[in-house]
Structure 1
Amino acid sequence: MIFIGARVGSIGLGIYGMVGVFILVFVFGQKPGNVPIDVMLIIVSVITAAAALQASGGLDYLVGLAAKFLRKHPEQITYYGPLVTWLFCLVAGTAHTSYSLLPIISEIATNSKIRPERPLSVATIAASLGITGSPVSAATAAIISTDLLGGRGIELKDIMLVCIPASLIAILVASFVQNRVGKELDDDPEYQRRIKDGTINPEEDKNNMEKLITTPNPRAKYSVMAFILGVLLVVIFGSVPSLRPSFNVDGEMTRLGMPETIEIIMMSVAALILLVGKANVVEAVKGNVFAAGMNAMVSIFGIAWMGDTFFNGNIEFFKLHIADIVTQYPFLFAVALFFMSIMLFSQAATVRTLYPLGIGLGISPLALVAMFPAVNGYFFIPNYPTEVAAINFDRTGTTKIGKYVINHSFQLSGFITTFVSIGVGYLIINLFY
């Protein structure tokens, strides 16, 4: 179903993913997995704010500002885009923060004649790397819990001291390599096809760029400020959970979760953008950012639900066979983490599933810290929400799923960052511990 959906394109991934759910549930009798409601609602809220930003001219304003810099440093978006994405996700503790950045990165690259696949592929992987090292992510909370590494002398500072520099170096290496991958945008056949179809008009883009640089919308900067305020609030509430409201539920204090926090803030920011930017709400819905976001949401609805249904329905089989392999070859534990994350689509779930086994096998706690980035392996099958969103945000078609599904735009960046981050992590624990 992934293969068929990828070939159909657009919302095909979601439609055929749902066909996969139908087959798994009605034919094989598997229990339906968890619907990715939080992810879908986060996308709706962030895309609504981004669409309002586009309607108010804020996105054009950002692109115009970036264009001035990129004309002097035309290849830097491949470095700066992923690094900013990583930083936001590192501080906020969730990869979903990237949904607000991916369309901006794509537009900056497209209008600067840079192949959008290059920065988007690394930025998408960088969003996941931000989680393995974030002081507020669910995965970090799981790994330092007392029944796992927290009970073996590993503290939060150890995770951050090892994983943050390892991730930073890995992103820089991946960006360096990715900057040399693929044809230049003007030479890309898919881009040329879309020009012939009229989907993209380079001359219009060029004229728009000149206009954006010389005569920016005077109110657009207020929209940008409102949007940045929303992102900063998400980062602050993600970094300092105590700032989020708490509620008494059945005698227990429950704190507002980050998914709800992101949804409330970004939808409210959309209203603020419409107000200060005097944007037309109808134009917001007509823009390509809103259309791409809705495409991503439909795709995620089907494909993520199918993946969760399949792997949860067969989890005991996977756990049993991976446990056997790791028991025989302990050094392959990082590989086991990688493959388990492909199946579970969650760093935290992978940690909770396999780290008890690693501890039981007697693997050094510091070595397990160095292996932490291996839980980001879910990029391997291109049905994770951030990947689907990045594909939909690239209107040039350079960011894509290949003919054989696994030969997609994120594979190279994913493997580079995984190998480099684990290698640098081992180097850090050997030098400084």
Structure 2
Amino acid sequence: MIWLQFAILLGAILIGARMKGIGLGVMGMVALAIYIFLFRMRPADPPIDVMLIILAVVSTAATLQAAGGMDYLVRLAEKILRSQPSLIVLLGPLVTYVFTLFAGTAHVTYSLLPIIAEVSTKKRIRPERALSISVISAHLAITASPISAATAALLTILGGKMSLLDILKVCIPATLIGTLAGVVVCWKKGKDLDKDPLFLEKMKDPAFAASIDTNVATAEAPLLPGAKASVFIFGLAVLMIVLVGAFPAMLPSFGAGNSNLSVDALGHIKMSAVIELVMLAAAAAIMLICRTTAAAVAKASLFNSGAQAVVSIFGVVWMSATFMQSNAATIEHALGDMVRSAPWTFAIALFLLSILLFSQAATTKALMPLGVTLGIVPPYMLAMFPAVNGDFVLPGYPTLLAAINFDRTGSTHIGKYLVNHSFMIPGIVSVAVSVVVGFLLAGILL
């Protein structure tokens, strides 16, 4: 019976992935309905905390975007990228990493990818090298960001056994080193542009050749008056979350018992609630101080991306959690001995599930509780956290498709066999190195 249920789960994910957008969410609900009404499976708790975090963080990032703060950050990043074009394969991923670390979502990199592609092409550096690892580094940064939904989900699952500071001091250096390993792999990836037959053929077209030397316009319009102030407010909010995570005694404590979505059984305010509270308060401050309207926030592209992410995670995580809960004994019996003798093998399971779910937060919420059930110690859970970044394997994630579209040379591509694409090798290397370094750091620091 478990294999039939798993086939339904897999089919819903595959169909939903092809539908794109909210497809994963709605197909997850279809599978969940089959589980409940046909198999009489008891539904698990819906991922309310993860959904609320995504909604809060993305709404605040959209407010930052509407206030002009994102444009200001993009122009700063552009100056850095254009200052040393020969180092674009290194600077590109570092800039996208910092952007995602700061904002908690990889969707903020859409404004950077065309700049990275243009700088690479003008310098006649194969754009595939910089674009592929820049996308991967942005994904890795989600598992190092203090305000990402995946990080908050892991904190909730570990139930206070690890602090936000523990996650940051392991995952930030681990994912940075993983990113640098990907940079090494990409440094000479593929043929140089002056030896690439596809690029040379395109350069025979005078219009294309002329367009290669045309700058992408990013700084023509003046910045909005509150752009810099909005960045300061957003940064202050992120700093507050990090401080609270490092020093939880700063928060009020209530009597034990009567836990809810905001307060745990010991009477402590949950970190997910802190992120939601601080982020939305920051959004309010940006709107009031920087004179940004609610209508402008709702029209921001980041707000639209966040809404799709919430629906997708709602359906797919609720479906996956119900499957895991109903078959927990069988799965634990099958994996228990292997994971207990070699905990690192659980990272493989995280990676494989993330390939299907297209979401670090969804994978964390769906599978990390099983790691706790199997008795994996919390430091090892942190070490394996970057393994939830397998969403690059099937080239359907929006950031991957954006990078391919922004590369006018055609060097960033999806291969004939679908999985032999530009992001596969740097992605596998970066994630694997991040996990290995995570284990080393967890053993030293925790």
- TM-score normalised by structure 1 residue count: 0.69
From 108, 112, 117, give the equivalent of 1:108. 112
Q: Which runs of 5+ in 1 are unaligned?
A: 89-96, 146-155, 189-201, 359-367
Residues in 1 aligned to 2:303 and 2:320: alpha-carbon distance in whole angstroms = 25
State whether residues 401 and 408 of structure 1, in contact with CA within 8 Å, keep that contact through their aligned partners in structure 2: yes
From 218, 230, 255, give the equivalent of 2:237. 230
1:81 aligns with 2:96: yes
Give the 3-state SS of the residue equivalent to 2:108 in structure 1.
helix
Give the aligned partner of residue 353 of structure 1.
373
Give the aligned partner of residue 104 of structure 2.
98
Residues in 2 aligned to 1:122 and 1:227: alpha-carbon distance in whole angstroms = 22
Give the aligned partner of residue 280 of structure 1.
293
Residues in 2 aligned to 1:401 and 1:38: alpha-carbon distance in whole angstroms = 35
Quickly say closer, same or farther: Cα 1:173–1:395, change in 2 above 3 A: closer
Deviation of the 1:411 alpha carbon:
6.0
Give % identity.
32
Deviation of the 1:261 alpha carbon:
0.8
Corresponding pairs, count: 381
Residues in 1 aligned to 2:187 and 2:237: alpha-carbon distance in whole angstroms = 31
Read off the aligned partner of 2:181 and give its amino acid letter: V
Larger mean Cα displacement after TM superposition, 395-404 or 28-37: 395-404
Read off the aligned partner of 1:247 and give its amino acid letter: F
Give the aligned partner of residue 121 of structure 1.
136
Give the aligned partner of residue 210 of structure 1.
219
Give the aligned partner of residue 377 of structure 1.
387
State whether residues 114 and 406 of structure 2, in contact with CA within 8 Å, keep that contact through their aligned partners in structure 1: no
In the TM superposition, what whole-angstrom CA distance separates every residue of 1:55-77 from its partner, at most 9, and x where no partner exists? 22111111112112211235213
Quickly say closer, same or farther: Cα 1:369–1:225, change in 2 above 3 A: closer
Give the 3-state SS of the residue equivalent to 1:34 in structure 2.
coil
Larger mean Cα displacement after TM superposition, 12-21 or 259-268: 12-21
In the TM superposition, what whole-angstrom CA distance separates every residue of 1:375-430 from its partner, at most 9, and x where no partner exists? 543344689xxx97867998959999999998899765553244324544677899
In the TM superposition, what whole-angstrom CA distance separates every residue of 1:104-157 from its partner, at most 9, and x where no partner exists? 3332223443676642332222332579xx9x9639967978xxxxxxxxxx99
Deviation of the 1:13 alpha carbon:
1.7
From 297, 307, 318, give the equivalent of 1:305. 318
Give the aligned partner of residue 169 of structure 1.
177
State whether residues 49 and 267 of structure 1, in contact with CA within 8 Å, keep that contact through their aligned partners in structure 2: yes
Give the aligned partner of residue 82 of structure 2.
71
Give the aligned partner of residue 44 of structure 1.
55
State whether residues 382 and 405 of structure 1, in contact with CA within 8 Å, keep that contact through their aligned partners in structure 2: no
Give the aligned partner of residue 349 of structure 2.
339
Q: Over aligned residues, Cα RMSD in angstroms?
A: 4.9
Residues in 2 aligned to 1:6 and 1:39: alpha-carbon distance in whole angstroms = 20
Matches within 5 A, 1:382-401: none
Give the 3-state SS of the residue equivalent to 1:256 in structure 2.
coil
Residues in 1 aligned to 2:234 and 2:165: alpha-carbon distance in whole angstroms = 31
Quickly say closer, same or farther: Cα 1:235–1:159, change in 2 above 3 A: closer
Residues in 1 aligned to 2:422 and 2:47: alpha-carbon distance in whole angstroms = 23
Give the aligned partner of residue 267 of structure 2.
254
Quickly say closer, same or farther: Cα 1:277–1:166, change in 2 above 3 A: closer
State whether residues 341 and 377 of structure 1, in contact with CA within 8 Å, keep that contact through their aligned partners in structure 2: yes
Residues in 2 aligned to 1:408 and 1:388: alpha-carbon distance in whole angstroms = 13
Residues in 2 aligned to 1:400 and 1:290: alpha-carbon distance in whole angstroms = 28
From 291, 295, 299, give the equivalent of 2:304. 291
Deviation of the 1:182 alpha carbon:
9.2
1:245 aligns with 2:219: no
Give the 3-state SS of the residue equivalent to 2:43 in structure 1.
coil
1:27 aligns with 2:38: yes
Read off the aligned partner of 2:155 and give its amino acid letter: A
